[in-house]
Chains A and B, each alone.
Chain A
C-alpha cells in the first residue's frame, strides 16, 4: 500500500511516497529555513505564503522522483494539526483538492503521531514501545501499542524542550535556529559551571516544565553581565543541556520501570541532539532496553513520517471526509477519538 504524505505545519513544505508505512519511495522538501533566519524566527504569514507557492510543485516532484503516478497511490495523508494554522491550511486544502479530484481516501494525521512513526521508517522496529517526543513544540512521554494507538503518560506544562533551547540560544545571542548550536557549544563546556534547576524532577508522574530553567539561565546571565563578568557560552550551554537531559532521562527511566517496556523510541527535532543521544544510548545499555532514534533526516519535520503515520491510521480503519479541518491546537486524545 502506497501513501502520499503532505506536511506543512511549520516552515517546511514536504511531500513523500511511502510503501506500507515503512519503506520510503521518494521525498521532496522545500525548506524555508534561510528565509526565516533573516527574521530571527518563523514568521507565520511568510511561511504560509511560501507553502502555497511550493505545495503542488513539491508533490509533483515527489511523483517524478519516484517514477510513480497518481494511479499508484492508495491514500493521501496530511498533517491536520497541531501547528501554525495558516500553514496547516495550505497542506490540508491541497490534500483535500487531490482527494476530491482523484477519489482517493483522505487521512488527517496528528503531527506528533508523525514524529513517532518516523522511527519505523526504513527500520525493523515495531510497536509496542515507549516513546519520548522532544521537539520545538512538544515534550511528551507516550506508550504506543501494536495497533499504533497512543496513551499519553505526561507532557510539558509550559515550554517544550526545543522551545527552551531556542530561548536560551537567544539569551546567549546565537543566531536562529539556535537549538542545534547550543548542543554544539555544550559539547565542549563544563556542565557543572552553573547549578540550573531540574523542573518537576522530584514530583511524581511524567510531566515536564522548562520555563523555570529558562528564567534561571536568564537570571544567571543578567547577574554576570551586571557584574561585568565574562560569560563562557560553552559552560552555559553545557549546564543548561545537562539540566534538560537529566529530567528527560530520569522521567523516561521511571516510565520504563513502571510500564515494563523493553523498547524506547526518542523522536522529534531535539532527538537529533548529540548530547541527548549519547545520554539515552548510555541509559539503554545500563538498563538493557533497546533505544531507537529516527535517522537524522526524519527527526525534523518531513512528509515521510506523515505518510507512515497515515498508513497505521488507515490500517485502523480510520479516514476523514472532505470536511477535514486544520487545527492549531489538537491533542493526541482528541485526534484518536475521531471516528
Chain B
C-alpha cells in the first residue's frame, strides 16, 4: 500500500514514501551539486525502508517530469519508468512546476480572509528567459492559472498586475545572482528562492502524485512517459531551419 515519488529536474532532488491515503511517512530533499545520479536510488531505498515497506508493496509511483536541467530530469524519469514497469504499478507524471508552486504555497501563510495566493514559478532558461507558469494556492490546494511556457523574464513580470488579486504575489525562482540583479522586481512580488522553498518539495510532490489530475501511465504505456524539456535542442532547431531553407526554390 505504498506510494513513492521522485523528482530530479532541478538542483533540488526530492523523494518521498507514504500511504495511498495521503499519509506522508518519509521524505528526503537533497541539494548536492551534481549529486542526483549518485543519490537518487539510495534515497528512494532509504525512504521506503523508513516507511517500512518493500519495493513489491509499492502501488503507485509519482515522477516529476520537468521541465528542468536536461540531464537531471532524465534520471528520475528513467528510474521511475524502470521501477513502475517491473513492479507493474501505475506511473503518475507530475509537472515539476506544479510541485514547486505547491511547495511555495504550503509555506506562505494564507491570507486571513481565505483568499488565494498567486504563485509565479520561474525556472531560469538562459538568455534572460525563464520557463514558468502562474498558479494559485488556496488552503493547500493548487490550481493552474496559465500554460507553462518560455518567455523573457521581463515579459513574465509584466503579467504580475493581471494575475494578482491579492498582493503581494509570490515569485519562486532559481535565478543565478547576476541574473537576479538585472531583474526589476516590483513591490507587488514577494521573491522566494527555490533553495529556500525546496525544503517542502518532497511533501508537495507526494501530495500531487495522489491527485487524479495528472496523466496516469500503466502497462505498456509506461514506456511512453517522457521528460518535459521546455527548450528544443539547438542542433535540431538549426537543422530544421537549414532543411526549410533548402526547400525554397
Contacts and interface: CB of A to CB of B under 8 A. Distances in A.
A57 interface: yes
B87 A85 contact: no
A323 to B, nearest CB: 5
Interface string A33-74: 000001100010110110111011101100000000010000
A89 B71 contact: yes
A308 to B, nearest CB: 22
Chain A interface mostly: helix
B222 A322 contact: no
A93 B75 contact: yes
A55 B82 contact: yes
B45 A43 contact: no
Contact of B71 (A59, A85, A103, A323): A85
15 contacts: A39-B239, A45-B235, A51-B78, A56-B222, A89-B74, A89-B75, A93-B74, A93-B79, A94-B79, A94-B82, A96-B79, A97-B41, A97-B82, A98-B86, A321-B42
Residue of A45, A85, A89, A93 with most partner-chain B CB within 10 A: A93
A325 interface: yes
List of 6 A-B pairs having minimum Cβ-Cβ separation, nearest first: A97-B82, A97-B79, A93-B78, A322-B41, A57-B223, A96-B41
Given A39-B235, A97-B79, A60 B85 contact: yes
Nearest to A35: B236
B45 A322 contact: yes
A45 B227 CA distance: 13
A100 B222 CA distance: 18
B81 interface: yes
B80 interface: yes
Interface stretch (B32-40, B139-147, B175-183, B184-192): B32-40
Nearest to A92: B37
A161 B37 CA distance: 32
Contact of A52 (B222, B226, B233, B236): B226
Interface residues of B, number: 35
Interface residues of A, number: 37
B55 interface: yes
A39 B44 CA distance: 38
Contacts of B122: none
B161 to A, nearest CB: 37
Given A39-B235, A321-B42, A326-B37, A98 B70 contact: no
B55 A100 contact: yes
A100 B44 contact: yes
Given A38-B239, A39-B235, A57-B223, A97 B83 contact: yes
Interface string B62-96: 00000000110011111111110111000000000
Given A43-B233, A48-B70, A49-B229, A94 B223 contact: no
Contacts of B78: 51-52, 55-56, 89-90, 93-94, 97
Interface of A: 38-39, 43, 45-46, 48-49, 51-53, 55-57, 59-60, 70, 85-86, 89-90, 92-103, 321-323, 325-326
A46 B234 CA distance: 10
Given A60-B223, A89-B71, A93-B75, 14 more contacts: A46-B236, A49-B229, A52-B227, A56-B82, A59-B82, A70-B86, A86-B70, A90-B78, A92-B37, A93-B40, A94-B79, A94-B81, A98-B86, A100-B83
A52 B70 contact: no
Nearest to A58: B223
A270 B222 CA distance: 37
Nearest to B235: A43
Nearest to B78: A93
A70 to B, nearest CB: 6
B71 A48 contact: yes
Contacts of B39: 323
Contacts of B80: 97
Interface string B228-242: 010001011001000
A65 to B, nearest CB: 16
Nearest to B54: A103
Nearest to B6: A97
A108 B29 CA distance: 26
A101 B55 contact: yes
Nearest to B89: A101
Nearest to A57: B223
Contacts of B37: 89, 92-93, 325-326
A39 B80 CA distance: 31
A60 B85 CA distance: 9
A97 B85 CA distance: 10
Given A49-B229, A49-B233, A52-B74, A325 B79 contact: no
Nearest to B70: A45
Contact of A101 (B82, B227, B233): B82
A43 B238 CA distance: 12
Contacts of B236: 43, 46
